[in-house]
Amino acid sequence: MTDLLPFLRLYRQHWLSLSVGLLLALVTLAAGIGLLSLSGWFLSAAAVAGMAVASRDTFNYMTPAGGVRFFSIVRTAGRWGERVVSHDATFRVLTRLRVWFWQKLSPLSPGALAGFRQADLLNRLVADIDAMDHVYLRLITPIGAALLSTGGLVFFLSFFDSRLALILGAILLFGMMALPLVFFFAGRKPGQALITGKAQLRTRLVDYLDGQAELQMFAAAPRALSDLQQAEQDLIRAQARMARVSGLANASVQLLSGWTLTLMLWLASHGVGGAAPGPMTALMVFATLASFEALLPLAGAFQHLSTSLASARRLNEILQDAQPPAWGELRERAEGGALQISDLSFGYPGNTQPVLRGCTLQLQAGEKLALLGQTGCGKSTLMGLLTREWNPQAGKIVLDGKPLTDYSEAALRASFSVVSQRVHLFAATLRDNLKLAAPAANDERLAEVLQQVGLGALLEDEAGLDAWLGDGGRPLSGGERRRIGIARALLHDAPLWLLDEPTEGLDSQTERDIMALLMRLGADRAMLLISHRLIGLEQMDRIALMEEGQIRLCAPHAQLLADDYYQSLHRRLTPV
C-alpha cells in the first residue's frame, strides 16, 4: 500500500470535489435503503389496513406514498449527481497525476531513462495512470459510503429492534472485511498480469508499426505479427481470469445477501421490538435487502486494488530509480564556448569495461576542432557527457572557465547548439519546426535563416512557412533535413556548436555542401565536430584522433599527415 502514498497525496488538492462525490454516494445509498424499506412497510401496512374495515378508511396512504416518491427522486438525482461529480473529480485527479508524473519525468536525462523503452514509458504515462481511477471510484468512495450508510442504518433500525440492528450490522461489517480481503488476494495475480499484458501488447504494437520497413525487407513481418498476436492472447487470458474473479465476487455478495435476508426474515417473523409480526417485519427485511447495495462494490474494489498497486509500482520505478541530474545555480550562458575536458572517465551502467579512459581535450573560443575515430571509440559518449545526458565518473568538463555542473539547465542549453545526423522534424508546419529553436523569431528572421542555409526554394511554395512537413519531414530529402537542423542552430544563436556526424548517410557532394555551409555559417563560433569521415576536415583548425576512449593525437590536418595511422585513415576514408 505504500506504493500508493505518493499518488494519494495529490488527492488532497481536490478534496472538496472528492468529498462532494462521497457525500452524494452516501445520499444515494441512504435514499435507496429508505425507498426499499419504506416501500416494504407501506405495502405491508396497506395490506393489513385493507383487511380491517375500521382501519382502511383511517389509514394514511398519502404520506408514505409521498415518502416513496421523495426517496425515488432523491435516489435518481443523487445517483446522477454522484456520477457527474465523482467522475469529474476523478478526471481532474488523473489530469493532475499525469501532469505531475510528466513534471517528474521531463527533467530526467536520456541516460536516466536508458533502461526504459519509449513505448513502455508511454504506457506508464497513459494506462498505468488511468488505473489510478480505481483508487477513488472503486475504493475510497465505496468504502466510505458503505461504512457511513451501514452505521446510519444500524442506528436507524435500533429504534425498532436493537438486537436485529446489531446482527445486521455485524454481518455487513464481516462482509466488508472478509470479502474484500479474499478477493484482493484472488485478483492480485490476474491484476498484475493485466497490467503487464497491456504494457507488453502496446510495446510490441509500437515496435511492429515502427519497424514495418525492416520487417518487410527481411521477411520477418509474419514472425513479428505472431509475437504481437501472442501478446494479445496473453492479455485476453488475463482479462478472462479477472472477469472470473469479478463474477465470483458478485456471486459471493449475492449469496451472502440471500443468507442474511433469510436469517433476518426468520428472526423478524417472531416480531420486531417485542411486538407481534406486522408491517415492521417487512421494513426490517427490505432494509436488509437494500443494505447490500453498499456491500456489492467492495469485493470488486479490492479485486481491482491489485491493478492499481501494480500500476503504482511501475510508476514508482521511474520516480524513485531514475534521478534527474543536479543542476547548478549559474544563470548566465557561456559567451565564448571554450571547452576544457580533463582526464574524463566513464562507463555505462552494467558494463564492466569503461568507454572513456582518461580522455583529455581542449577547445578554444572560436576554434574548429574535429574529433575523429572509428565506431565504438567513445565519440558519441563524449557528446552525451557534454550535453549532460550522462555524468562522468571521473574527471572534469569546464565550459568558459566554469565547471559544467555549475550551469543551470537553461544556461547550459543556451550555451550550445547540437546538429546531429538525426534531425527530428515534427508533424507541423515549417514555421513551427523552426521556431522550436527560437520561439520569439518573426517570419522575416525565419525566412532570412532559410536563405542562409540554402532552403530559400521552400519559401517559393504557395504555403511558404505554413507548408506542412508531415511526420518526420517526409517531403524533404536527407540534405534538406540536415539544413533545417543547421537553421535551428543559427536561430538558437549559441557560442558553441556540437556537431554529431551531421553528414552521415549523405552522398559525397551533399556532404561537401553541408560541411562548407557549416564552416561558413559557424565561422564566429567554437565548433566541435564528431565524425568518422574525412570530407572537409582539412578546413578544421585541429583534428583529434580518438582510440579506445583516449585522445591519441591532436594537431592540424597538415601536421597529422605525417602520422602513419592518420595517413592510412586518410587514404581509406577520403572518397576519390
Q: Where do the domains of the chain lie, and which CATH numbers do they carry?
A: 2-321 (1.20.1560.10), 339-573 (3.40.50.300)
d(CA 194, CA 130): 13
CA gap 167, 222 in Å, rounded: 63
The H-assigned helical ranges of 211-278 are 212-217, 221-268
Q: DSSP for 350-403, please give it.
A: T-SS-SEEEEEEEE-TT-EEEEE--TTSSHHHHHHHHTTSS--SEEEEEETTEE
- Residue 53: pLDDT over 60: no
* Cβ-contact 412, 329 below 8 angstroms: no
- For 472, the 3-state DSSP assignment is coil
Task: With a cut of 80, say whether residue 151 has pLDDT above it.
Answer: yes
| pLDDT at site 397 | 92
Q: Give the list of residues 6+ apart from residue 295 with CB closer than 8 angstroms, or none.
A: 146, 172, 175, 176, 179, 253, 256, 257
**Residue for grid cell 492472447:** 233
User: Is pLDDT above 70 for 56?
Assistant: no
Sequence-distant (6+) residues with CB within 8 A of 79 are 28
Q: Which of 473, 313, 330, 466 is nearest to 411 (CA)?
A: 330
DSSP designation for 574: S
Residue 576 has pLDDT above 60, yes or no: no
For the chain, give the percent of residues with pLDDT over 70: 90
Query: How does pLDDT run across 521-537, given as a tens digit for each residue?
Result: 888 889 998 887 777 77
Lowest mean pLDDT among 128-132, 172-176, 218-222: 128-132
Residue type, 141: T
* 3 state DSSP class of 199: helix
- Of 74-78, 268-272, 440-444, 566-570, minimum mean pLDDT range: 566-570
Q: pLDDT tens, 442-459?
A: 989 889 888 888 888 888
Strand partners, 399: 339, 402
Phi, psi for residue 71 in degrees, rounded to 5? -65, -35
Q: 469 burial class (0-12, 13-18, 19+ CB within 10 angstroms)?
A: buried
CA distance 331 to 409: 9
Q: Which three cell numbers stand for residue 193?
A: 498480469
Residue 54: pLDDT over 60: no
AA letter at 58? T
Q: Which helix (H) or strand (E) holds 88?
A: helix 62-105
Residues in the chain: 576
C-alpha cell of 553? 593525437
In eight-state DSSP terms, residue 293 is: H
Task: For residue 507, give the C-alpha cell.
Answer: 552522398
Residue of 45, 73, 75, 72 whose CA lies nearest to 61: 45
Nearest to 447 by CA among 474, 467, 476: 467
- pLDDT band per the 50, 70, 90 thresholds, residue 268: confident
What's the whole-number average pLDDT of the chain?
A: 82
**pLDDT of the residue at 236:** 92
Contacting residues for 415 by C-beta, under 8 A, at least 6 apart: 333, 334, 337, 399, 400, 407, 494, 495, 496
Q: Own/partner pairs for 99-104, CB < 8 Å, 24+ apart?
A: 100/10, 101/125, 101/129, 101/315, 101/319, 104/318, 104/319
Rounded-to-integer distance, Cα 533 and Cα 573, Å: 6
User: Residue 65: what residue type?
Assistant: A
Residue 527: which of 518, 514, 536 has the closest Cα?
518
Give exposure, 439-462, as e/b (b: 16+ Cβ within 10 Å).
eebeeeebbebbebbbbeebbeee
Q: What is the mean pLDDT of residues 135-162?
A: 82
At 52 the pLDDT is 63
Cβ–Cβ < 8 Å for 383, 529: no
> At residue 322, does pLDDT exceed 70?
no
Among 29, 45, 205, 203, residue whose Cα is nearest residue 117:
203
Cβ atoms < 10 Å from Cβ of 54: 8
Give 63-67 contacts, CB < 8 A, sequence gap 24+: 64/38, 67/34, 67/38, 67/42
Note whether 497 and 528 are within 8 A (CB).
yes
Q: In this predicted structure, what is the pLDDT of residue 233?
A: 92
Q: In terms of pLDDT, which residue wins out, 27 or 521?
A: 27
Share of the chain above pLDDT 90, in %: 5
- The pLDDT assigned to 573 comes to 59
Query: How many angstroms separate the CA atoms of 334 and 336, rounded?
Result: 6
Q: Are 434 and 406 in contact (CB under 8 A)?
A: no
Which residue matches cell numbers 511526420?
471
DSSP 310-336: HHHHHHHHHHHHSPPPPP-SB-SPPSS
According to DSSP, residue 276 is labeled P
Backbone angles phi, psi at 411, to 5 degrees: -65, -40
CA–CA separation, 169 and 292 (whole Å):
11
Lowest pLDDT segment from 297-311, 326-340, 537-551: 297-311
Beta bridge partners of 330: 407
Residue 135 clears pLDDT 80, i.e. is over it = no
Rounded CA separation 296/279 (Å): 27
pLDDT digit string (tens) for 459-507? 887 788 888 887 766 678 878 888 888 888 888 888 998 988 887 777 7
Q: Give the cell for residue 449.
A: 535563416
Residues sharing a CB contact under 8 Å with residue 171, sequence separation 6 or more, in sequence order: 256, 260, 263
pTM summary value? 0.65
